[in-house]
Amino acid sequence: MVALYTLYQGVAFVFGLVIGSFWNVCIARWPEDRSVVAPRSACPACGTPIAAWDNVPVLSWLVLGGRCRACGAPIAPTYPLVELLGGLLAFLAWRRFVPTPADLDVAHVAAALVYFVFVSALVVGAFIDIRHRILPDQVTLAMVPVGLAAGVLLPALGYVGWLDIGWRGAALGALLGGGFFGSAALLGRVFTGVEALGWGDVRLVTAIGAFLGPPGVMVVTFWGTFVQAFLGIVATIVAQRRVYLPFGPTLAAGALAYVYYGDVLVAAWLPMFARAWTP
């Protein structure tokens, strides 16, 4: 059982590398409204399709020295880094949702998979928001029903563990996050005329609420708003003009931190929240 558990940790890491490779495809294609299924990946410089053996996560990039085999054009190190991030986050998701060999059952593995889907949306959304200043519906609106369905599915499988928020928690979290950020966006628009909070951000926070429940979405928006304001002030001082930073990456980073270490972080930094929510 223990040996099998150790083996599965390795499987989770390799699975994450492969999914990380798919994240790269989503990051490149969703902002352009292209399909992520077809056609096969091609070199952006020369258009030569990338053969399967040149598309092995991380390894191919290292073997080819970060260059296209056909034309020699450099391939950005963000590709292998995103793949590595996928491996790491899948490994950590396994450790978080299947914490001991005794937890090796369908319910815990399903929880790990469900939250890795959410993590995927957060990572892809953050990268796209940094590059294009948009949050595509695939990583925001589409995640709301997934989170609500998980709130029904995981308890039905008998899942008890970290983030077992149930369908009530998922629905309340989505309402709370969407309601709070939705009204803030409306009020901001009415009173300042500046769209500092976009509808993509509102949709993202709704999805975060559906996956993390009321405590999670409150902690993420509370800290996210502080961090965002701080980053905005620093960026404005450095650039010596008013700078608006995309909010998505900050919210996504906060939600990621909560998925993996929420209980630890809340206990350490927000003890009054921890007391309020510990049964």
CB of residue 200 vs Zn ion: minimum separation in angstroms?
Answer: 33
64: Cβ contacts below 8 Å, ≥ 6 apart: 54, 75
Toward Zn ion, which CB reaches closer, 45 or 265?
Answer: 45
Find the DSSP H helices in the chain: 2-29, 59-63, 78-97, 106-132, 143-156, 166-192, 199-239, 248-269, 271-277
Phi–psi pair at 42, nearest 5 degrees: -130, 160
Segment 16 to 45, residues that bind Zn ion, using CB under 5 A: 43, 45
Toward Zn ion, which CB reaches closer, 71 or 233?
Answer: 71
Toward Zn ion, which CB reaches closer, 46 or 62?
Answer: 46
Neighbours of 233 (CB within 10 A): 11
Q: Which of 63, 71, 156, 268 binds Zn ion (CB under 5 A)?
A: 71
Asked if 201 contacts 181 with a C-beta cutoff of 8 angstroms, the reply is yes
Look at residues 257, 278, 155 and name the one whose alpha carbon lies nearest to residue 215: 278
Task: Give one DSSP letter per residue of 54-77, joined into a string.
Answer: G-STTHHHHHTTTB-TTT--B--T
Toward Zn ion, which CB reaches closer, 43 or 170?
Answer: 43
Using the contact rule CB under 5 A, the part of the chain among 65-73, 102-110, 119-127, 224-232 near Zn ion is 65-73
CB of residue 65 vs Zn ion: minimum separation in angstroms?
Answer: 13
The length of the chain, given as a count of residues: 279
Segment 73 to 92, residues that bind Zn ion, using CB under 5 A: 73
Using the contact rule CB under 5 A, the part of the chain among 68-76, 126-134, 244-252, 255-263 near Zn ion is 68-76
70 is an interface residue for Zn ion by CB under 5 A: yes
Distance CA 197, CA 139 (A): 17
Draw the binding track, 193-232, toward Zn ion (x: CB under 5 A; -: no contact): ----------------------------------------
- What distance separates the 2 farthest-apart alpha carbons in the chain? 61
Instruction: Tell me the number of residues near Zn ion by CB under 5 A.
Output: 7
Toward Zn ion, which CB reaches closer, 14 or 51?
Answer: 51
CB of residue 75 vs Zn ion: minimum separation in angstroms?
Answer: 8
The site for Zn ion (CB under 5 A) is made up of 43, 45-46, 68, 70-71, 73
